[in-house]
């Protein structure tokens, strides 16, 4: 380790983020910021913790999703609708750079914690408001879960087999995409603060980042009055592109977005004559002949084991990937080389594996300081930092405010 490495701080060291959101989009955004060194304080209701603490699998009564989602976050309980909770929250906001919340529109305002109230004590505050449909419009007060965004963004309509129903993902895809957009929006607002000295409100509707990932569907409808059909694992933009079963009953995925890759694949599988077809010269032309291309590629793959297929594609410099489960991910040498999987000490479960931060920085290591904390574990400590003495903390507890 060099002297420079010893003194280097995480990229977001000195940034304080209050995570007052629940479930996934907001808490994930705060997690991403915490991974880069921001100090994150998780604020939950004293009697109604973040429901994500009860989602997914558990071991020995410990929720495994929360161990990751709550990492690097000190856990505080405050009832923001109470007078004491409101006062404590305003004191906390005075010390913060960012608040992430996902209450229904007008809820913070009803509690006297709208942006006017927050910015009165901290003009530089960035308030990230993450809801299903945004702060304005006829749907603004609807419950806004990621599933609804996956439905209304166009994703479900174009996902699934051609003769099957619209298909939703079996995980929080829209929330995950929205979390990245929220973290990005927060950094944009903080950069603007460097110029103006003022904070601002980020209004993020979960449906919009999801929609942005789906290609030019809006422009296509505007100009052509057509929509993308459901194609299963195929693509409307190129072929061959599908999942294929191997001789040892495993699966691989093949992509040929680049013309040169498509040509390499067809030479590899022994069908070079197809390259000379006029339609083969464009991705859309190949997509129109997906049946023929799938038969050529699929039959070749079906006669070989997964390892043989991957080795042959790699030698031919063609694009293939084995279809992994978590069991495969845990031992993949490339992911090990990247440090994708990290091991953390957890007070309840001992050493646990987690997916680490989303990227690496050459000048500052990400931070994985501790796993998700128990509900309210740090309330007394944080309130003391804000100037509350033991008697005042006890009073807040008696009132149900903390």
Element (H, E) at 39: strand 39-44
Question: What are 354's two structure tokens?
Answer: 């987690």
pLDDT of 2: 47
pLDDT of 6: 56
CATH of 3-213+341-398, one of 3.30.70.890, 3.10.450.200, 3.40.50.2300, 3.40.50.10540: 3.40.50.10540
Known catalytic residues are 175
Element (H, E) at 320: strand 320-322
Contacts 24+ apart (CB under 8 A), 388-391: 388/88
Nearest in space to 357 (alpha carbons), one of 90, 35, 102, 77: 35
Question: What are 244's two structure tokens?
Answer: 């294929």
Average pLDDT of the chain, as a whole number: 95
Domain ranges of the chain: 3-213+341-398, 242-329
- The answer to whether the peptide bond before residue 361 is cis (omega within 30 degrees of 0) is no
Beta strands in 324-386 (DSSP E): 341-346, 350-355
Mind giving me the DSSP string for 63-79? EHHHHHHTTTEEEEE--
pLDDT of 20: 98
Euclidean distance between CA atoms 117 and 107, whole angstroms: 13
Euclidean distance between CA atoms 333 and 244, whole angstroms: 23
Digitized pLDDT (tens) for each residue of the chain, 402 residues in all: 444 445 578 999 999 999 999 999 999 999 999 999 999 999 999 999 999 999 999 999 999 999 999 999 999 999 999 999 999 999 999 999 999 999 999 999 999 999 999 999 999 999 999 999 999 999 999 988 999 999 999 999 999 999 999 999 999 999 999 999 999 999 999 999 999 999 999 999 999 999 999 999 999 999 999 999 999 999 989 999 999 999 999 999 999 999 999 999 999 999 999 999 999 999 999 999 999 999 999 999 999 999 999 999 999 999 999 999 999 999 999 999 999 999 999 999 999 999 999 999 998 888 899 999 999 999 999 999 999 999 999 999 999 999
pLDDT in tens, 371-398: 999 999 999 999 999 999 999 999 999 9
Nearest in space to 298 (alpha carbons), one of 234, 339, 245, 368: 245
Question: What are 122's two structure tokens?
Answer: 């901290």
- Domain 242-329 carries which CATH code? 3.30.1540.10
Torsion angle of C-alpha atoms 39, 44, 46, 51, degrees rounded to 10 = -130
Q: Beginning with the edge strand found earlier in the chain, give each strand of the sheet holding 126-131 in spatial order.
A: 73-77, 39-44, 16-20, 98-101, 126-131, 201-205
Mind giving me the DSSP string for 85-136? HHHHHHHHHHT-SEEEE-PPTTHHHHTT-SHHHHHHH-TT-EEEEEESS-SS
pLDDT in tens, 256-283: 999 999 999 999 999 999 999 999 999 9
Euclidean distance between CA atoms 13 and 253, whole angstroms: 40
pLDDT of 7: 56
pLDDT in tens, 162-202: 999 999 999 999 999 999 999 999 999 999 999 999 999 99
Q: How many secondary structure helices (H) and strands (E) does the chain include?
A: 18, 13
Mind giving me the DSSP string for 197-211? S---EEEEETHHHHH
pLDDT in tens, 346-362: 999 999 999 999 999 99
Q: Beginning with the edge strand found earlier in the chain, give each strand of the sheet holding 320-322 in spatial order.
A: 242-245, 251-254, 320-322
Query: What's this model's pTM, rounded to 2 decimal places?
Result: 0.93
């Amino acid at each position: 380790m060099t002297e420079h490495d010893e003194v280097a701080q995480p990229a977001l060291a000195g940034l304080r983020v209050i995570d007052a959101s629940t479930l996934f989009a907001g808490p994930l955004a705060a997690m991403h910021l915490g991974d880069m060194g921001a100090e994150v304080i998780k604020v939950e209701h004293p009697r109604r913790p973040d429901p994500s603490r009860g989602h997914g699998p558990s071991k020995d009564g410990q929720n495994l999703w929360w161990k990751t989602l709550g990492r690097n976050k000190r856990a505080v309980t405050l009832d923001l609708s109470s007078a004491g909770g409101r006062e404590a929250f305003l004191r906390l906001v005075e010390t913060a750079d960012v608040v992430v919340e996902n209450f229904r529109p007008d809820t913070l305002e009803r509690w006297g914690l709208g942006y006017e109230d927050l910015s009165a004590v901290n003009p530089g505050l960035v308030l990230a408001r993450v809801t299903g449909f945004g702060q304005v419009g006829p749907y603004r007060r609807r419950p806004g879960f990621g599933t609804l965004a996956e439905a209304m963004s166009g994703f479900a309509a174009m996902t699934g087999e051609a003769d099957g129903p619209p298909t939703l993902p079996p995980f929080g895809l829209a929330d995950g995409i929205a979390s990245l957009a929220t973290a990005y929006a927060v950094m944009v607002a903080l950069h603007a603060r460097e110029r103006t000295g003022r904070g601002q409100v980020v209004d993020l509707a979960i449906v919009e980042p999801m929609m942005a990932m789906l290609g030019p569907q809006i422009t296509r409808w505007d100009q052509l009055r057509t929509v993308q059909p459901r194609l299963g694992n195929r693509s409307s933009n190129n072929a061959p592109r599908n999942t294929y079963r191997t001789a040892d009953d495993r699966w691989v995925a093949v992509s040929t977005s680049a013309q040169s890759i498509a040509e390499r694949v067809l030479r590899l599988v022994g069908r070079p004559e197809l390259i000379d077809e006029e339609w083969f010269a464009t991705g859309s032309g190949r997509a129109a002949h997906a049946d023929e291309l799938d038969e050529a590629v699929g039959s070749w793959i079906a006669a070989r084991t997964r390892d043989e297929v991957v080795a042959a594609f790699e030698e031919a410099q063609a694009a293939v990937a084995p279809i992994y489960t978590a069991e495969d991910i845990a031992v993949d040498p490339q992911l090990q080389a990247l440090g994708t999987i990290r091991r953390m000490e957890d007070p309840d479960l001992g050493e646990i594996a987690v997916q680490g931060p989303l990227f690496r920085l050459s000048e500052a290591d990400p931070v994985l300081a501790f796993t998700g904390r128990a509900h309210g574990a740090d309330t007394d400590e944080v309130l003391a930092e804000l100037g509350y003495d033991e008697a005042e903390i006890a009073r807040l507890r008696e009132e149900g405010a903390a």
